[in-house]
Structures are given as C-alpha cells and as structure tokens.
A and B are shown apart, each in its own frame.
Chain A
Amino acid sequence: MNSTPLDRDGAGAGEVSVAVQDLVKRFGAFTAVDHVTFSTRKGEVFGFLGPNGSGKSTTIRILCGLLRPTSGRAVVAGFDVASDPESVRRRIGYMSQKFSLYNDLTVLENLRFYGGLYGVTGARLSQRINWALRMAGLHGREDSRTATLSGGWKQRLALGCAVLHRPPIVFLDEPTSGVDPLSRRQFWELIQQMAEEGVTVFVSTHYMDEAEYCNRLALLMRGRLIALGAPSELKLGAVQGDLMLLETDSLQRAIEAVRKLPQVRDAAVFGNALHLVVAGAADANQPIRAALAAARAHVLRLEVIRPSLEDAFVALTASAAAAEPIR
C-alpha cells in the first residue's frame, strides 16, 4: 500500500505522466472509486475498460480537476490535481461523452472560442485551427453550423477543440459512443498518431475491439481496479489453463454434458460455439469427445484457441465478483 505506483504496476521506464495512488471518491454512502492505484507513461495509450457505473468517468473527472478526490493522490503532468488543478488544466485536453460543442456556432467559431479559452492566439491559433480542420476532415465546412455535422465529424471536431493548445496529456471519456464504425476506426488512427507524437492518451471505453488498440488497460469494476496490464498480458493471465473452442450441432446438449466433466472448469456460449476452460487441453480432449458422443452431440470442431479480450474480461469480472475483496 505504501509502495509507489511505479513499483506496483510496473509502468516501467519512461516519463510518468499520470500517477494515481489509493484514489477514493465517495458520493455520500456510495463509493464510486475505491482505492485505485496506477500510473501511465508518456506517449502511452492507456485504456479504461469497465461496465457502466464502474467508476471510469469519475476517475477521469478527478484527473481533470472536475471532482475532488475524497482521499488518495493523483498527480497529472507533475501537478497534484487536488492542490493545483489550474496547473493541471493548462496541460491537459478533455473530451467528454457529450462532445461539448456549441451547436449554434459554426465549426470555425467553435475552434476559435476554445482556442481563445486556452490562450492560443494569433498565427499559432490559425495554424492549429488549420491542423484541426485537416485532422477532422472539415476543410471547406468551416462555416457550417456544428448542428448540421454528423456524429463522426462532431467527434473529431470535439477532439480538435480539446487539443488546440497541444496538451501533453489527453483524457477521452467514451469518445466513440454513438459514432459509426468507420468513424470509430478513423478516430483510433488519430489517437495512435497523437501517441506517436508523445501525447499520453487516456481513453475510457466499453468496446472490446477498441480496448485491443490500447498499450495498457485498466479494468474497473464497481470502482475497483481488478486488473491492469497490456491486452496480451490480460488475455494470458486471466484464463488459468487452456481455452478450447467447441463447435457442435447441439449447443444445449453439449454444454450440459461438458459441464459434468471434472476436467472442464468453465463453459460459456460465445456466438454459435462454446468456449471451454480446461486445465490441460491434451488431457481434456478425449473425455470431452466421449461425453459429447454419449450426449449425441456431434463435434464439428474442437481445438485450442488464444483467449480474446472478451474471454479475459468475462473471466476477470467473474472471479472478481466471486472473490470479494480482490485486493
């Protein structure tokens, strides 16, 4: 508990841009953030994954100085968010789920307004506005009312407004909610570009495919950090044993049959197949086939697969729910 965040989660070498230690946020009797500790490196895409109400937004708002922590410490860009929020605000960009733009202003007016608030002026402002227009693909639509833009454009414009002042750290709170898949992909390319330029991108999501793009992921549940690591680490660490894919002509009879086997630790339906967690694939193969034959379920496919992030997420949340307190 008293160790520094660096020791604990192994953010490793490189400049630390966000360091959070034992962060707690209570609203009355409700604990929204429960003793969370982690840190991020410069240039890292750091993902916050978790169901609605898990404390993602609350944590991000604390890091932006919008909410005061109940206890614990959060240092962003070298400044404590509780004692010096103004120094933090000059060094961060923040984009909320709502894409906080003025719908009755034009694209250009929105950019000028936010640029002015961040103190970006003169030649630098026009250069940054140019950059933002290019980034958002809005050249030629400068004078359109923001209300007339579709979701993907609004989202990129909101990002442009949030980073006009070139902040070293950017917080994106579910930036892709309500945006079509193509725009989501384009948006993630922008995130990767920013990270390559050395910007730390802090992003919350509940899309598994987006989580794969992150360098590291923090998995939150009910305000607690239940896992932290690169997506590959989480996938390997979450599933104890091997993961097998079973395709059969009768899911119902198959799942009943394999669940009775001592070799099968867990069985879950994934699409039109089953995912089975077994201690060792070699030992489990024959008993599974025998049990399925007895249950008159034909095996179309049975093989060892690599766990997906979704498998890891399901396994981690299940074990966290079963074994409170996880810490």
Chain B
Amino acid sequence: MFGRIWQFVIKEFIQVWRDPRARFSLIVPPIIQVIIFGYAANFDVHNVPTAILDLDHSMESRELIARFAASGYFRVDDVLASRARIGQLIDRGRVALAIQILPGFAEDMRKRDDASVQVILDGTDSNTALIALGYVNQIAQQYQQDYRRDYLNRIAPLAARSAPQVMLEQRPWYNNNLEDRLFFVPGTLGSVMMVMVMTLTAFAIVREREIGTLEQIMVTPIRPLEFIVGKTIPYLIIALFELAVISVVGVLWFEVPMRGSALILVAGSLLFICGVLGVGLLISTVSNTQQQAMVVSFFFIQPAITLSGFGFPISSMPAALQWLTYLDPLRYYLVVLRGTFLKGIGMDRLWPQFAGMAAFAVVTLAVAAARFRKTLE
C-alpha cells in the first residue's frame, strides 16, 4: 500500500519539478500577491482630490480651508469661483469631494448661530466617501471646538478652563497603529493557499484524465484511497512550503509580528489544506477538462474569499449570509492566521476554528473518496 502511494508522490514531484512553468508559478505569483496586498490593500484614504468653493471670503472660512489642506487627508486641487464647476469636476472624476462655504459663514459664527458648510461627495466609491466624510467631520468639529475655546478665553477665561470635555484615549491592541497591511498580509496568505492547493489538486487529476493516464491507472490494482492520498500528499507538502515562503516574506518584509506558536500555525494550516484538497478532488470528479476545472474552481473561490472575512466584516453581513460563512473553511483559517500572527492566542481560544476546519476536511475528503470510483462512468 505505501509502496503505491510512494510511487505517486515521487512521480508528482518529478513532474512538478520538471515543468518550468509549475516551478515558476509555485514561487513567484504567491510572493507577488503578498507584496501587492501588503502595499495596495489599504482601507485608509489620503490625498483625496478636493475642490473648494469659498463664497464667504472671510478669515474664518480661510482658516477652515487651511485646516483641510493641512490635514493630509485632502488635496485641494481646485479653488472654484462658481457652483456649476462642482458638478463638472465630480462627473469627470477630477475630484471626489467638494467643500462649499456659503456667504455669511463667518457672520453666523460670530453671532453664535449655527454656521453650515456643505460637503458634496462622489458616492460611487462609497467606502472612500464614508471615510473621507469622517475626516471632514473630525476637522469641522476640531475647528468648532478651537473657535469656541478662543471665544470663551476672550470673554470668560475662568469658565473656559473649567468647561468639561470627554477625552478619547485610543489604544488599539495587537496593531497599535491600525495598519491595514497587518490585517491583509495574513489574509492574503490564507487566500493564496486556498487558490493554489485547490487548483493544483484539481488540475493534477483532470490532466491525467485528459492525457489518458487516469484510465491506465484505473486498470491497475491501486485502491481509490491510495490514489487520492498519493495524488494529494505532494500538494500538501507544496502548500506547507508556500506557507513558509509567504510567512517569511510577511514577517521580514512587512514586519507582521509572529506572536503565537508556529506549531499551532502549522497544525491549523494542515487542517485547512486537507479541506481545500477535498474541494480540489471534488472538482476533479466533476470536470473532464482543465478548462472545466478552472471554471468550477472559480465558482468556489470567489464566494469563499468574499464570505471569509478577508476584506468585509462578517458581522455586517445579513444573517443568512453569516450562516453561510460557517461553510467556508477560509473563514476559520483567517481567524487562526490573524490569531497566531497578531494576537498570539493559543488553542484555548482557537479550538472552535480547528473544529470547524476539521469538520470541513472530513466531509469533503469523505465525499471525494466516495465519488472517486475506478470506472469511467
């Protein structure tokens, strides 16, 4: 039994090693993906192109505008003279935000009436708009507070000092500077592993079907389980190699901390890989050509990444979709990855994730083994 499995392992490794494209695709694209995500995947907004329409021309309005320009969040590209330009600029995508200060702004402030500033946003990119709006709010609030403090200082210095304020002290744990790459690099590791393992496994079997060797193997005394084990062990080893490569790039290049135990990381990865191998095997049982396998794997990969919490928080999804995420192995694995890299938590916290991945692996591998018969039908 082990002899036959061993034959397969040797053969798969020779084939992968001899194929220059396979060798390339095992090393270069994963590293490129991690680097792209490490640098490009960023929720934060900086230098939002902004247009200003100041119809008040007061000291106050200029002060407010200066604060926007100095914040770093906005880049004031255009100072406008008329309202009509705002629509043109936003339509063309020249600016994403326009701030309009109406005549009488300074006067309202001085009279201690509410003074209004209008903010026009390009809502097509709702995420950027929302975050930019938050910064607009923050700057306007700060301006108002400073203005009031100056005013109070002038008319009643004692009262100004005793006016109570709520001070917010931010202490983000695990990621002190709230850097998005610390969130994305472990996530990318998970998604790269999933895509690689699933497609490699599915393609490796479907390719044998295409060239006819699968038929030849089926007439040998090999057992279906031996075939499955022999065919998947090489990709399991390759996936562990990927894990090591991407982890090293993440830790050394992107300064992702490794606070937890490497043993837990490897154990969790093994469970995850087994589940994904099962999916790859299932894909190979329903595909006759590599093209079909490609299409079918995309049906799985896209929703699996969307529902995993890779980019979008699961807690904001509708209840039905939240339930669906429990069928997604990447969901559990991402918790394990972020838990071990960033939080340094152990099995006492992570065991539910391990249970989820184990259940997924058992079910997919069992179904794949049951579906894989040594017949052509």
Contact = CB atoms under 8 A, between A and B. Distances in A.
A117 B377 contact: no
Interface string B1-45: 001101100110011001100000000000000000000000000
A92 B3 contact: no
A177 B315 CA distance: 62
Contacts of B375: 65-68
B172 interface: no
Interface in A98-116: 98, 100-105, 109, 112-114, 116
B217 interface: yes
Nearest to A115: B7
Nearest to A161: B216
A103 B377 CA distance: 26
B14 A89 contact: no
Q: Which of B3, B4, B6, B216 has the most CB of A within 10 A?
A: B216
Nearest to B216: A100
A96 interface: yes
A105 B3 contact: no
B155 interface: no
Indicate the size class of the contact surface on chain B.
Answer: 20 to 34
B212 to A, nearest CB: 4
Interface in B140-192: none
Contacts of B211: 98, 100, 102-103
Contacts of A101: 213
Given A113-B7, A117-B7, A105 B14 contact: yes
B219 interface: yes
A116 B219 contact: no
Contact of B221 (A64, A90, A113, A162): A90
Interface string A10-47: 00000000000000000000000000000000000000
Interface size grouping (class) on chain A: 20 to 34
Nearest to A162: B216
B219 A114 contact: no
Among B10, B18, B221, residue most surrounded by chain A Cβ atoms (within 10 Å):
B221
Contacts of B7: 112-113, 116-117
Contact of A65 (B18, B216, B219): B219
A90 B11 CA distance: 22
Contacts of B212: 96, 98, 100
Contacts of A67: 375-377
A23 to B, nearest CB: 16
B374 A117 contact: no
A102 B7 CA distance: 13
A85 B374 contact: yes
B231 to A, nearest CB: 12
Given A102-B15, A104-B18, A112-B7, A96 B221 contact: no
A298 interface: no
B220 interface: yes
Given A66-B375, A105-B14, A117 B4 contact: yes
B222 interface: yes
B219 A66 contact: yes
B323 to A, nearest CB: 39
A67 B3 CA distance: 27
Contacts of A119: 3-4, 221
Contact of A94 (B10, B15, B219): B219
A61 interface: yes
A65 B15 contact: no
A104 B17 CA distance: 10
B108 interface: no
A9 to B, nearest CB: 26
Nearest to B220: A117
A121 interface: yes
A131 to B, nearest CB: 19
Contacts of A188: none
Given A66-B375, A98-B212, A116 B15 contact: no
Interface of B: 3-4, 6-7, 10-11, 14-15, 18-19, 211-213, 215-222, 374-377
12 contacts: A61-B376, A68-B377, A89-B221, A92-B219, A100-B211, A101-B213, A103-B211, A105-B15, A113-B11, A114-B220, A116-B3, A118-B220
Interface of A: 61, 64-68, 85-86, 89-90, 92, 94-96, 98, 100-105, 109, 112-114, 116-119, 121, 161-162
Give the 10 A-B CB pairs with smallest separation, nearest first.
Answer: A116-B7, A100-B216, A98-B212, A117-B220, A94-B219, A100-B212, A100-B213, A90-B221, A64-B219, A66-B376
Given A65-B374, A68-B375, A100-B213, 6 more contacts: A89-B220, A105-B11, A113-B10, A117-B217, A117-B220, A118-B221
